[in-house]
Structure 1
Amino acid sequence: MTIKNLIQLPDGYLNRTPIFQYILLSMIFPLWAVAAALNDILITQFKHVFELSDFASALVQSAFYGGYFLVAIPASMVIKKTNYKFGIITGLLFYIAGCTLFYPASEMATYTMFLFAIFSIAIGLGFLETAANTYSSMIGPRQFATLRLNISQTFYPIGAISGILLGKYLVFQEGASLEEQMAAMSPEEAHAFGLQMLQHTLEPYKYIIFVLIGILVLFVITKFPACKPVSEKPKASEKSPNLLQTLKYLGVNKSFRKGIAAQFLYVGMQVTVWSFTIRLALDLNPNINERVASNFMVFSFIAFFIGKFIANFLVTRFMASKVLFIYSIIGSAMLAYVAFVPNITAVYAAVVVSMLFGPCWPTIYAETLGVVKDKKYTELAGAILVMSIVGAAVVPAAQGYVSDLLDSLQLAFLVPMACFIYVGFYFFGEMKRNAVTEKAEEPQKMAQ
């Protein structure tokens, strides 16, 4: 498949967006969403089968997002030496390998082995996100970089809903909740029943492997533009910056540091809310089982999907940071409701919060990447932004710890509320910074 009439500009952006390649690239986004959503299922399943505390059950997310953290810089270095397409293909291969590890994990039936399989999947996803997020923002005209990434991210909820439905019908079973069933069994019966339940965790990953192979083939046979800045190719007298030089360059960029902190806390709060929504529903209504409670996650991802469309509409008419600042105020208030209202409406409030999550990640990502003016640092800057996903390894564990400490999962939702408040302050600062920039550019526009 060829690319016609494309012109790559010196900064790596293109004169237009190649539609087929952009659609295929956007199909990568729901693939990592499926894996992330299945974690929310696994946390609930493992909690009772392995008799874990809330803190220990949250280690599923720590293993998953810890893998992202460790692989981001190696992935960026591979992409820098090759191209975005090679990084995506590498990620797909690791993803497939990680899914196959659920075969031995379901047979060995140990929590550690499942965590290793989840960690292995995350290595592949680290490659995918490092490549796909930056590539999506660059595969077209520069002025539409944020919008392009927002549109690609709109596909995320499709994968997330698919992951929850796979978990609902393939992992969770009919009847009473696991906690209720296992409470009525002897230790020996509960152990045997737990082993049987663990076999079901393999089922979703069988289907995912076939989808991944299909996408992998499409990427192998499709030609993609490089989108590599001309400035990143060193002249004879100029060496390409090494890792230490790049970190030093990025470290003195105040806007970049603030973006990293905001992304760390944003991803952490998003994953935390989703990790414990099913558990919250089970706690507030003990008459439902896991299958019924998982419906709230389906509602959450539908709300997430709708929220992205609304945000995409709003950011074309208003300053993105202003839209997200308002979202943050509403989101913080809704999480306070989740923490303090002791009835099932708190779960619906958690669903509403998902509508407000949608535009945060791509907006923070694109705007933070945009403050890196010297484009020879782009790949590593994108990798560090992906590394900030490690917030999802830290914040859920923090909420689990607070839940165990206070003996109240509901009050522990104050942890993501605090994160949303910080994100609100970040967008308020960005709103002011953008307003100053626009004011400074006005004389130049008038002169033209």
Structure 2
Amino acid sequence: MSVSTLKKEKQHKETWIQYSDGYLSKTPIWQYILVSLCFPMWGMASSLNDILITQFKTVFSLSDTATAFVQFAFYGGYFLLAIPAATIIRKNTYKTAILSGLAFFIIGCGMFFPASHMATYGMFLLAVFIIAIGLSFLETSCDTYSTMMGPQRTANLRINISQMLIPFGDAGGILLGKYLVFSDGGNMQAAVKGMTATQRLAYNEHVLQLTLQPYKYILLVLSALFILIAITHMPYSKATVTKKAEDKKSSTVKTTLSSVKHLLKNKRFMKAVGAQFLYAGMQTCVWSFTIRFALRIIPGISDQNATDYMIIGYLVWFIGKVPATWLMSKFSITKVMTVYGILGTLCLIFTFTVHNPIAIWGAVATDFFFGPFWPTIYAHGLDQITEKKYTETGGAFMVMSLIGGALIPIIMGRVSDLSGSMQLAFIVPTICFALITFYFYAEHCYELKHPNSVKEK
């Protein structure tokens, strides 16, 4: 009995029906919950980077530009592995890609233990890079899988619901960092002043050991999630490929190249990829620099207390998703996103122009308007792919766009170093938000001119 026959027989035993385009007649709740639980895990890994950056800056005496290489290693892993992840999905299943991602995630977290003993910046960057490989597999598979696990008309709603869990992971990562990594309290940069070389070395070793604490708990959760997904039957949720199309497949490389060439010619899809690139860079800039901005602009604040602004920011981010999801169910998605973009841009203008400690609240307020952007750009971009056999590679393109989170923070760090003003450097994410707003405004104008082509409300 062939593998495809077995898959069909298994599907007949389930309560859902899979359509030829890969979407399902109904959402399998348990399977959808398991996939959605992966979302806060990569949020937790991402927010811990913001803690690591603050910590590494002191321990390894880094400039703002050099600290951005934590995000470069993180999002560089996303960029390099997104297409291979999509290839695995296409040749196997979403479940295989998810388990592969969780495995790399577990290995990367485990590498923090030898890295803390070697006490070299490069070793930590390697651990972060391996975690990012795992997250590349997870995001490439889970983001697309979430949109496919049910009827097409509710694809945007499903991914927005899944993405609403990310702020809990982000907040969890910051809380782990606040109470486990920054458990000593005080300001690390102030603490090392006046220390002898021997004292500073001992202090740095102590600080690096604290880095391990959050990853112990993350490893336990990841292991449990890996086992649950491994033993659960998951829907196939991929477009049906006819026998004739199967016969034309000469090799994985040729199939991948064919998919890439097809997508590169899809102008509206590629604009969505560009918008996602800018969004990834903008969000990473704001979140990576918020803690350090608070330390600079608020006299005498401790590292631990500075993390409160990120905790509030993640809470605000979550709150921002709720009205946006409701508004997008009632009004034009592109119109809602345009308004959110304008208001978010104004918040960032406030952040870099008001020379007062209150400016930190501009960065925090921006998080409210971040809420719906990533999942909406993702789903809106995939909607531009009419031939669903290219969906997996399209999802990989979207995940590859996270390279913006590696490159744009370096630009922001460079602006900060050259100008001597971290506050002025917030002009970089401001420009990004303005460009994303223009993208959604242009999409809204297009939809007004071509109402019959709009799949979304």
Distance between the aligned counterparts of 1:417 and 1:122, measured in 2? Answer: 26
CA drift at 1:434: 2.2
CA displacement 1:17-55 (0-9 Å, x = unmatched) = 111111111101001001000000000001111110000
CA drift at 1:187: 2.7
For residue 223 of structure 1, give the secondary structure of its aligned residue in structure 2.
coil
**In the alignment, residue 114 of structure 1 is paired with which amino acid?**
F
Counterpart in the other structure of 2:379: 366
Q: 1:217 to 1:341 in 2, by over 3 A?
A: same
Distance between the aligned counterparts of 1:267 and 1:312, measured in 2? Answer: 20
Asked if the contact 2:273/2:398 (under 8 Å) is kept, the reply is yes
Does residue 79 (structure 1) correspond to residue 89 (structure 2)? The answer is: yes
Distance between the aligned counterparts of 1:48 and 1:261, measured in 2? Answer: 34
Asked if the contact 1:265/1:391 (under 8 Å) is kept, the reply is yes
CA drift at 1:234: 4.7
**In the alignment, residue 394 of structure 1 is paired with which amino acid?**
L
Distance between the aligned counterparts of 2:454 and 2:414, measured in 1? Answer: 48
CA drift at 1:98: 0.5
Does residue 307 (structure 1) correspond to residue 320 (structure 2)? The answer is: yes
Distance between the aligned counterparts of 2:75 and 2:137, measured in 1? Answer: 12
Distance between the aligned counterparts of 2:420 and 2:244, measured in 1? Answer: 58
1:320 corresponds, among 308, 333, 336, to 333
**In the alignment, residue 213 of structure 2 is paired with which amino acid?**
E
Distance between the aligned counterparts of 2:130 and 2:367, measured in 1? Answer: 27
2:164 corresponds, among 148, 154, 161, to 154
Map 1:377-396 onto structure 2 (within 5 A): 377-396=390-409
CA drift at 1:341: 1.1
Asked if the contact 1:231/1:375 (under 8 Å) is kept, the reply is no
CA drift at 1:5: 2.2
Q: 1:161 to 1:407 in 2, by over 3 A?
A: same
CA drift at 1:441: 7.7
2:153 corresponds, among 126, 129, 143, to 143
Distance between the aligned counterparts of 2:293 and 2:389, measured in 1? Answer: 46
CA drift at 1:60: 0.5
CA drift at 1:175: 3.9
Distance between the aligned counterparts of 1:440 and 1:164, measured in 2? Answer: 42
Q: Percent identity?
A: 49
Structure 1 unmatched ranges of 5 or more: 443-448
Distance between the aligned counterparts of 1:15 and 1:185, measured in 2? Answer: 65
Q: 1:415 to 1:16 in 2, by over 3 A?
A: same
Q: 1:366 to 1:441 in 2, by over 3 A?
A: closer
Does residue 171 (structure 1) correspond to residue 181 (structure 2)? The answer is: yes
Asked if the contact 1:232/1:376 (under 8 Å) is kept, the reply is no
Distance between the aligned counterparts of 2:348 and 2:454, measured in 1? Answer: 38
Distance between the aligned counterparts of 1:184 and 1:150, measured in 2? Answer: 50
Asked if the contact 1:272/1:416 (under 8 Å) is kept, the reply is yes
Asked if the contact 2:447/2:453 (under 8 Å) is kept, the reply is no
Counterpart in the other structure of 1:349: 362
Distance between the aligned counterparts of 2:41 and 2:302, measured in 1? Answer: 27
CA drift at 1:238: 3.3
CA displacement 1:391-448 (0-9 Å, x = unmatched) = 0001111100110010100000000000000000110011122223325689xxxxxx
For residue 245 of structure 2, give the secondary structure of its aligned residue in structure 1.
coil
Asked if the contact 2:115/2:124 (under 8 Å) is kept, the reply is yes
Asked if the contact 2:186/2:304 (under 8 Å) is kept, the reply is no
Asked if the contact 2:87/2:256 (under 8 Å) is kept, the reply is no
CA drift at 1:184: 2.3
For residue 19 of structure 2, give the secondary structure of its aligned residue in structure 1.
coil
Distance between the aligned counterparts of 2:248 and 2:233, measured in 1? Answer: 30
2:226 corresponds, among 208, 216, 222, to 216
Distance between the aligned counterparts of 2:81 and 2:128, measured in 1? Answer: 14
TM-score when scaled to structure 2?
0.94
CA drift at 1:186: 2.0
Distance between the aligned counterparts of 1:144 and 1:246, measured in 2? Answer: 25
Distance between the aligned counterparts of 1:92 and 1:30, measured in 2? Answer: 13
Does residue 436 (structure 1) correspond to residue 449 (structure 2)? The answer is: yes
1:285 corresponds, among 298, 301, 305, to 298
**In the alignment, residue 299 of structure 2 is paired with which amino acid?**
P
Q: State how many pairs are aligned.
A: 442
Moved >4 Å (runs of 4+): 439-442
CA drift at 1:233: 6.1
CA displacement 1:190-243 (0-9 Å, x = unmatched) = 222112111111110011000001101110111111001014765365337622
Distance between the aligned counterparts of 1:236 and 1:190, measured in 2? Answer: 63
1:297 corresponds, among 294, 310, 314, to 310
Distance between the aligned counterparts of 1:91 and 1:355, measured in 2? Answer: 29
Does residue 415 (structure 1) correspond to residue 425 (structure 2)? The answer is: no
- RMSD of aligned C-alpha atoms? 1.6
CA displacement 1:370-404 (0-9 Å, x = unmatched) = 11111111111110110000100011111001100
Does residue 47 (structure 1) correspond to residue 68 (structure 2)? The answer is: no
Asked if the contact 2:352/2:359 (under 8 Å) is kept, the reply is yes
1:398 corresponds, among 411, 419, 423, to 411
**In the alignment, residue 402 of structure 1 is paired with which amino acid?**
V
Counterpart in the other structure of 2:124: 114
Q: 1:273 to 1:232 in 2, by over 3 A?
A: farther
Q: 1:344 to 1:356 in 2, by over 3 A?
A: same
Q: 1:271 to 1:233 in 2, by over 3 A?
A: farther
**In the alignment, residue 324 of structure 1 is paired with which amino acid?**
M
CA drift at 1:176: 2.6
Asked if the contact 1:85/1:224 (under 8 Å) is kept, the reply is yes
For residue 386 of structure 1, give the secondary structure of its aligned residue in structure 2.
helix
CA drift at 1:99: 0.4
CA drift at 1:247: 1.6
Asked if the contact 2:74/2:406 (under 8 Å) is kept, the reply is yes
Q: 1:102 to 1:413 in 2, by over 3 A?
A: same
Map 1:20-39 onto structure 2 (within 5 A): 20-39=30-49
For residue 450 of structure 2, give the secondary structure of its aligned residue in structure 1.
helix
**In the alignment, residue 47 of structure 2 is paired with which amino acid?**
A
For residue 6 of structure 1, give the secondary structure of its aligned residue in structure 2.
coil
Q: 1:185 to 1:418 in 2, by over 3 A?
A: same
